[in-house]
Amino acid sequence: MIQIIAFAVLTIATFAIAAPKYLKIRRNILLGQDEETVVDKGLAIRNTILIALGQKKMFKRFIPAIFHLFIYVAFLFTQIELIEIFIDGFFGQHRFFSQALGGFYTVIISTIEILSLLAFVGTLVFLSRRNLIKVPRFHKPEMEGWPKLDGNIILYLELVLLIGITCMNGADQVLQGMGAEHYTDTGNFAVTSWLGPALFGGLSEGTLIGIERFGWWLHILTVFAFINYLPISKHLHIFLAFPNVYYARQTAAGKMVNMPEVEKEVRSMMDPDAAFDESAMEEELPIFGSSDVQQLSWKNIMDAYSCTECGRCTSVCPANQTGKKLSPRKILMDIRDRATEIGEKLDSGDKQYIAEDKRESGEDLSAINFNDGKNLFDYITREEIHACTTCNACVEACPILINPLDPILRLRRYEILTESAGPSDWTPMFTSVENSGSVWAISDDRDKWRDELLAKED
């Protein structure tokens, strides 16, 4: 009974602590503007199955994809055993599914053990790639400090989970062989039927029960820690990869999204009467592009929180390869950090973060009146966004359909159209386009050839 109470208290506490963290991430994502991305639901579902669940794009790099698949499939199958642990914990049972499934239960647990063994190999491979072989994409400047530690922590937790499963199943198998009470026969598991006796053979029944309980509690406590750790980790992609792929844009990768503000301005130019409309004159000047997360779309922010920090985007970026400062991965990490910073300041309720022109209204701090005097340009330098060649290599490389290019273009648009700034060697081109409609400063109208052709036909 004590164990049941302890398990129930820990479970409730875990989810009570974790729930607000996940809700804050949802709030941070929704700081962005509305954007409709799903046109074809069938295509969205197909992409989710093939790319998020099936890991299709991972296999563009076959060797790491295989080892990642070991860990990923082991994670999925282990959830069966985790469900059983929850049932056993709440109701004081032991291997609840074994009675109902019989021999099939042995097959399921054996499969989990084989996959766990493969996951152990994959975990060691990934630890060595990060810390011994030092794959270059894991050692870029943005990966120093917490990102590097975060990448290792989850691998260490994987090893702890494997230790828990081994102790739990291994001692259980020995106890079954001894005919211990409460440890009913479940058949021989693929790995621990021989590993259990090798590790724990000859120990007393009391010691074996202690080892089995240790493994059981180690496993579930690691899961509880994992649930609360995910919101501050790049491994949040375990959950967000699925909605992120589902809501990925279905348009061609190179297609730029038109800005409604620009379309409105162009329409007013084409309609002289609209240009002098009094209601239009009273409106605030539009903001072109994005300077902060509130002007990005919610999908841009979800991309940032879904980023696995694998660095595939940066490793194929031609600007980064030629020594320029741009790293698409860093752009996403900066957006995520800025969204998190804004969320934390909103949670503080401190009125110093209310925009100056709205402080006298007496309103409480909210996402609408928030202004801390900072924006994304305090995280992302102009040099970075200028270096982008808009080649879409980063978009193509991402295994979960993240689009790092879109926020780069939005930042560029803000700098050029709203701030009237930009690299000095770009200015003549913009001036030429504005004055003559041509990047080459050709004085003739661009459509003069058409008029001449039409005149000849007449």
Instruction: Say if residue 140 is exposed, middle or buried (CB neighbours under 10 Å; 0-12, 13-18, 19+).
Output: middle
CB count, 10 Å around CB of 65? Answer: 16
Q: Which residues contact 345 (CB under 8 A, 6 or more apart)?
A: 353, 365, 370, 372
Closest CA to 71 of 17, 32, 127: 127
* DSSP single-letter state for residue 357: G
Question: Residue with structure tokens 């390869």?
Answer: 321
Residues 250-269: b if buried by 16+ CB within 10 A, e if exposed: eeeeeeeeebebeeeeeeee
Domain ranges of the chain: 2-19+61-233, 31-49+289-423, 253-286, 424-458
Half-sphere exposure of 77 (CA within 13 A, CB side): 21
* Spatial distance between the Cα atoms of 231 and 344, rounded to a whole number of angstroms: 13
Rounded CA Rg of the chain: 28
**CATH architecture of residue range(s) 31-49+289-423:** Orthogonal Bundle (1.10)
| pTM check: above 0.75 | yes
| Cβ atoms of residues 190 and 113 within 8 Å | yes
Query: Which amino acid, 457?
Result: E
Query: Which amino acid, 455?
Result: A
Among positive and negative, which fits the CA dihedral 258, 260, 262, 264?
Answer: positive
Among positive and negative, which fits the CA dihedral 130, 132, 134, 135?
Answer: negative
Per-residue pLDDT of the chain (458 residues; tens, 9 = 90+): 788 999 999 999 999 999 999 999 999 999 999 988 888 999 999 999 999 999 999 999 999 999 999 999 999 999 988 999 999 999 988 888 888 888 899 999 999 999 999 999 999 999 999 999 999 999 999 999 999 999 999 999 999 999 999 999 999 999 998 888 888 888 899 999 999 999 998 899 999 999 999 999 999 999 999 999 999 999 999 999 999 999 999 988 778 877 777 777 777 766 766 555 555 555 666 778 999 999 999 999 999 999 999 999 999 999 999 999 999 999 999 999 999 999 999 999 998 999 988 887 778 899 999 999 999 999 999 999 999 999 999 999 999 999 999 999 999 999 988 888 888 888 788 888 777 777 777 666 666 777 788 888 76
Q: Which residues contact 22 (CB under 8 A, 6 or more apart)?
A: 231
* Three-class DSSP category at 354: strand
Max Cα separation, the chain? 105
Q: Which residues contact 97 (CB under 8 A, 6 or more apart)?
A: 80, 84, 87, 105, 108
pLDDT at 99: 82
* Spatial distance between the Cα atoms of 71 and 103, rounded to a whole number of angstroms: 25
| Cβ atoms of residues 88 and 96 within 8 Å | yes
Question: Residue with structure tokens 């309103």?
Answer: 363
H-helix segments, 92-204: 96-101, 103-131, 146-178, 192-200
Residues forming beta bridges with residue 354, ordered by sequence position: 370
pLDDT at 157: 94
Cα distances (angstroms) measured from residue 183 to each of 179, 239, 447: 7, 35, 86
* Spatial distance between the Cα atoms of 75 and 239, rounded to a whole number of angstroms: 12
Residues 371-380: b if buried by 16+ CB within 10 A, e if exposed: bbeebbeebb
* Three-class DSSP category at 21: helix
pLDDT at 49: 96
pLDDT at 223: 95
Q: Phi/psi at 360 (nearest 5 deg)?
A: -75, -15
